[in-house]
Structure 1
Amino acid sequence: MKQLLYIFSFVLATNAIAQNTTSTELQKQKIKQALAYGDKIIAADAMYSIVAMEGPQSTYKDSLAYLYFNARNFVSCFLVTNDILSYKENNLELLEMKAVSLENMGALDKAKEAYASLLTKTNNNFHAYKIAGLELALNKFEEALVSIKKADQLPDDGKLSVTFQVNKNYNQNVSLKAAIAYLEGLTYLNLKKDKEAKASFERAVQLFPEFVLAKSKLTTLEAKTTN
């Protein structure tokens, strides 16, 4: 009798595992089909089902984070990445998504902290540039100047560019080094140091000759000097 009970329990457990595996595979197929049809809501729903089946450290939480990030749902992206980072604290992509999400949510101080955490791990000039930009937006001009000078001193691989909105109909991609020089110029302007600002904008144009916004700042400063 005991042997029969053991066999019966084993069969039940095996069936449960098989059903769970089948359900997981079904949800994965559902995700694939939903994404093929551009239905991110259904894809997210299927991912939640897999997380519920696999447990709190399911890799599909990562998939959810990317899904929300690409959909520009920054609040949900932040909540998911913040959760995952509690046990994957050194994942650089998740840290960056968290920082970008916080910035887009308007939580600038928290975004600055997130980029600062990234910078300690990457020593990346783009992350230093982002910190300077956030400090400038927070009117912390002296801190921004220190950060932008640090960004300028860090290695640059020449691969990254920054997009600037010139007007409502035109965006311009500018090399990161030129963007750093431009941000330095803006910082000097806020510190009422026009001479230093002019030198920074000139360097930005030298690095990227078609830099529309830097040229515009130079024109404004030259007109101010003339008057």
Structure 2
Amino acid sequence: MKMNKLLLTIAVVAMSSITVFAQETPPQDSESIRKRNEADIKIYQLALRYNDLPVARMKLFELVERNPSNITYKETLASLYFESSQSTSAAIAAMDILEVSDNSVTALEIAAYSLEQLGALDRSLPNFERHYLLTGNLFSLYKTAYLQYSLNRQEEALNSISMLVKNNKSGEEKVGFPKNDNTQQEVSLKAAALNLKGMVYMYMKNKEEAKLAISQALELQPDFELALENLKEVNKMQ
């Protein structure tokens, strides 16, 4: 299932600010190290401007090595890997961060999406769960429910879906689904969650509850293409 663009929060902003990096240089660093950091950041930013990612990564490696206690450089490196679609490198970099700082929201998000892209759903799931707990991000809760469904943890999925449906903001926030004509359809997270609830009950062979949940999704968005297709499948169930 194809979702809307990911919700990474630092990939552009945090990577483009010399001031942020400079302010986070450990206070015990000497003046010469501070100047080297500033020079490397300028080269890093210029490399990004010219789309020279190998140079940008090299400068980040140097900054990480020179400032081991500054997590910002490590998060930015993980983000750069992720934005470059290097899922394995992004996942490893993010998990290295989480070993020393398990509250890094950026690392949790990168690890969750990267591991999912690599097919490691059982390892991706805890990162989505923790990301939701730390941020209250409803899309992370939806991803949690979807991975629980995918891993055949249906009761857990139903609990996550219930939390999502009860949240008033789920009716306002949107998620994208592919349509048959290769375009994207925006639906509310609440409708998406109810459709997923129907899929859970379909898996559990509970036709009545599946039809009810999918019908509720369609009440919210009558043109929800995936829900319409699922309703056809439910009606075929014995």
Sort the TM-score into its range (normalised by shorter chain).
Answer: 0.7 to 0.9
Relative to structure 1, the CA distance from residue 158 to residue 147 in structure 2 (aligned partners, 3 Å threshold; closer, same or farther) is: closer
| Deviation of the 1:157 alpha carbon | 5.4
Q: Which runs of 5+ in 2 are unaligned?
A: 1-29
- Which residue in the other structure is 1:25 paired with? 38
| Deviation of the 1:122 alpha carbon | 3.6
Q: Which has the higher helix share?
A: 1
Structure whose alpha-carbon radius of gyration is higher: 1
- Which residue in the other structure is 1:13 paired with? none
Do structure 1's residue 109 and structure 2's residue 139 form an aligned pair?
A: no
Alignment of 1:43-192 (within 5 A): 43-57=56-70, 59-156=72-169, 158-167=171-180, 169-192=182-205
Q: TM-score, normalised by structure 1?
A: 0.80
- Which residue in the other structure is 1:40 paired with? 53
| Deviation of the 1:76 alpha carbon | 1.7
Between the aligned partners of 1:55 and 1:141, the Cα distance in structure 2 is 42
Between the aligned partners of 2:134 and 2:72, the Cα distance in structure 1 is 23
Between the aligned partners of 1:60 and 1:89, the Cα distance in structure 2 is 16
Q: Does the Cα contact within 8 Å between 2:214 and 2:231 map onto a contact in 1?
A: yes
Q: Does the Cα contact within 8 Å between 1:126 and 1:151 map onto a contact in 2?
A: no
| Deviation of the 1:99 alpha carbon | 1.5
| Deviation of the 1:141 alpha carbon | 2.5
| Deviation of the 1:182 alpha carbon | 0.7
Q: TM-score, normalised by structure 2?
A: 0.77
- Which residue in the other structure is 2:221 paired with? 208
Alignment deviations for residues 172-224 of structure 1 (CA, whole Å, 9 cap, x no partner) = 222111100110011111111112111111111111222111112223434x2
Relative to structure 1, the CA distance from residue 182 to residue 26 in structure 2 (aligned partners, 3 Å threshold; closer, same or farther) is: same
Q: Which residue type is aligned with residue 209 of structure 1?
A: P
Alignment deviations for residues 79-122 of structure 1 (CA, whole Å, 9 cap, x no partner) = 22222233433232332222122211211111111222233334
| Deviation of the 1:123 alpha carbon | 4.3
Q: Which residue type is aligned with residue 216 of structure 2?
A: R
Q: Does the Cα contact within 8 Å between 2:132 and 2:140 map onto a contact in 1?
A: yes
Relative to structure 1, the CA distance from residue 89 to residue 213 in structure 2 (aligned partners, 3 Å threshold; closer, same or farther) is: same
Q: Does the Cα contact within 8 Å between 1:185 and 1:196 map onto a contact in 2?
A: yes
Q: Does the Cα contact within 8 Å between 1:57 and 1:84 map onto a contact in 2?
A: no
- Which residue in the other structure is 2:24 paired with? none
Equivalenced residue count is 210
Q: Does the Cα contact within 8 Å between 1:125 and 1:152 map onto a contact in 2?
A: no
| Deviation of the 1:71 alpha carbon | 1.7
Identify which of structures 1 and 2 has the higher relative contact order when contacts are C-alpha pairs closer than 8 Å and 6+ apart.
2
Does the residue aligned with 1:59 lie in a helix, a strand or coil? helix
Between the aligned partners of 1:58 and 1:120, the Cα distance in structure 2 is 21
Does the residue aligned with 1:38 lie in a helix, a strand or coil? coil
Q: Which residue type is aligned with residue 218 of structure 2?
A: V
Q: Percent identical across equivalent pairs?
A: 34
Relative to structure 1, the CA distance from residue 50 to residue 185 in structure 2 (aligned partners, 3 Å threshold; closer, same or farther) is: same
Between the aligned partners of 1:217 and 1:187, the Cα distance in structure 2 is 11
Between the aligned partners of 2:131 and 2:41, the Cα distance in structure 1 is 32
